[in-house]
Amino acid sequence: MTALLKLRGISKRYGDAVAVQPLDLDIFAHDFVAILGPSGCGKTTLLRMIGGFVAPTSGTVEIDGRDVTRIGPEQRPTNTVFQGYGLFPHMTVRQNVGYGLRLQKKPKAEIADRVAEALRQSRLTEFADRSVTALSGGQQQRVALARALILRPKVLLLDEPLAALDLKLRHAMQDELRRLHQEFGGTFVFVTHDQGEALSLANRIAVMNAGRIEQEGDAETIYTAPATRFVATFIGEANLLPGERKAGQVKLEAGPSFADAGADEPVTTVVRPKAVRLLRAEEKADIEISGSLTEVVYLGDHIKCVVAVSDKQDVVVHLDVAVAPRPVVGEHVRLGWSIQQQRVVSA
């Protein structure tokens, strides 16, 4: 299968500042892709190069086999939901949604039908003849989505679509986006700095940092097998244990060592708090480490324990709330995890 959207060596420089380093990215039809990264890492710039609003300094953008690098947004088979929505305040909801079809000079009856259908799908029918300025943030968001989706874009681009909404509405809109993606069957690419949002919506995630894509893959791989230290820390909680690899053997500063193929270099071992177990007296694990409990916090769905395994190193453990007996602060404990549940990345 060939990719629907292909970025090749694409980059953007503003003067001396590099917003996006040359990078490649393939996006396949029907994917729901998150471009995830911290503020200022170049997510918006990347998305705008796909949409045609920013001319890349180098590289090409190919959509459905056609090179669109030099083509403006008005001629690209993409549509965008902007961060500020960019709704037309001089038009009603209905007129906003029908804008693209009117530009295409479709017959009036067809426009009316398709707009009515889009309004129904986005549950906007009752607001159809209101001015968009008289809508709540969530409703405006739905108008922006309907206005873009009605043109059946090959790729729908969304820039931080949920950032402006409060938490409750954000969850409702997440469900809405997921539903629209299923009903519409298109390809969605959205930018976010919220890892939870990326994990819950996207089936593929591209993690960006400082203008680079550090890892691209399905959500589970990104979470369980982070390729870099940055990816490990940016997505979910992680324990980072520094160490040194020599002759296929990693020695952690905190004590344990284990076999691991790779070049001789300083490394970081990443292990998720949920993967760490509290070992009972005679219990064995691939990696074992001990220390004293400095913190036990009940968090509703799990218990968070912090174990000081050395002067400089803490290990966070998430325990099931049913654990008995419940550990107490000051206790000396042994921790362990299996080799499959850790990742060794370059430091």
Ligand X SMILES: Nc1ncnc2c1ncn2[C@@H]1O[C@H](COP(=O)(O)OP(=O)(O)OP(=O)(O)O)[C@@H](O)[C@H]1O
Q: CB within 8 A of 170, min separation 6: which ones?
A: 162, 197
Which of Mg ion, ligand X, another protein, none does 95 bind, CB closer than 5 to 8 A by kind?
Answer: another protein
- Contact between 42 and ligand X per CB under 6 A: yes
- Contact between 112 and another protein per CB under 8 A: no
Chosen residue from 10, 20, 35, 44 binding Mg ion by CB under 5 A: 44
Chosen residue from 31, 41, 47, 85 binding another protein by CB under 8 A: 85
For the chain, strand residue ranges (E) read 5-14, 17-27, 32-36, 58-63, 66-67, 78-81, 155-159, 187-192, 204-209, 212-218, 239-246, 249-252, 257-259, 265-271, 277-279, 287-298, 303-308, 314-319, 332-337, 342-346
Which of another protein, Mg ion, ligand X, none does 203 bind, CB closer than 5 to 8 A by kind?
Answer: none
Structural tokens at position 140: 């405006």
- Contact between 36 and ligand X per CB under 6 A: no
Nearest CB to another protein, comparing residues 131 and 200: 131
- Contact between 90 and another protein per CB under 8 A: yes
- Going by C-alpha positions, the residue among 49, 80, 86, 65 that lies closest to residue 151 is 80
Which of ligand X, another protein, Mg ion, none does 42 bind, CB closer than 5 to 8 A by kind?
Answer: ligand X
Do the beta carbons of residue 187 and residue 154 sit within 8 Å?
yes
**Least Cβ distance, residue 81 to another protein (angstroms):** 9
Preceding omega of 325 cis (within 30 degrees of 0): yes
Site for another protein, residues 208 to 227, rule: CB under 8 A: none
- The β-bridge relationship of strands 239-246 and 265-271 is antiparallel
- Contact between 16 and ligand X per CB under 6 A: no
- Contact between 44 and ligand X per CB under 6 A: yes
Q: Can you say how many angstroms the Cα of residue 49 is from the centroid of all Cα atoms in its chain?
A: 18
Query: 229 in the Ramachandran plot: left (φ > 0), alpha (ψ -120 to 50) or beta?
Result: alpha
- Contact between 99 and another protein per CB under 8 A: yes
Long-range pairs for 166-173: beta carbons < 8 A, 24 or more residues apart = 169/137, 169/138, 170/197, 172/138, 173/138, 173/141
Chosen residue from 6, 43, 142, 272 binding ligand X by CB under 6 A: 43
Q: Pick the stretch among 95-103, 269-277, 291-299, 339-347 that binds another protein (CB under 8 A).
A: 95-103
How far apart CA 45 and CA 157 sit, in angstroms, is 12
Residue span 142-181 as binding mask against Mg ion, x where in contact by CB under 5 A, dash where not: ----------------------------------------
The site for ligand X (CB under 6 A) is made up of 14, 17, 19, 37, 39-45, 193
The site for another protein (CB under 8 A) is made up of 51, 53, 72-75, 78-80, 82-91, 95, 99-100, 102-104, 144, 147-148, 151
The site for Mg ion (CB under 5 A) is made up of 44
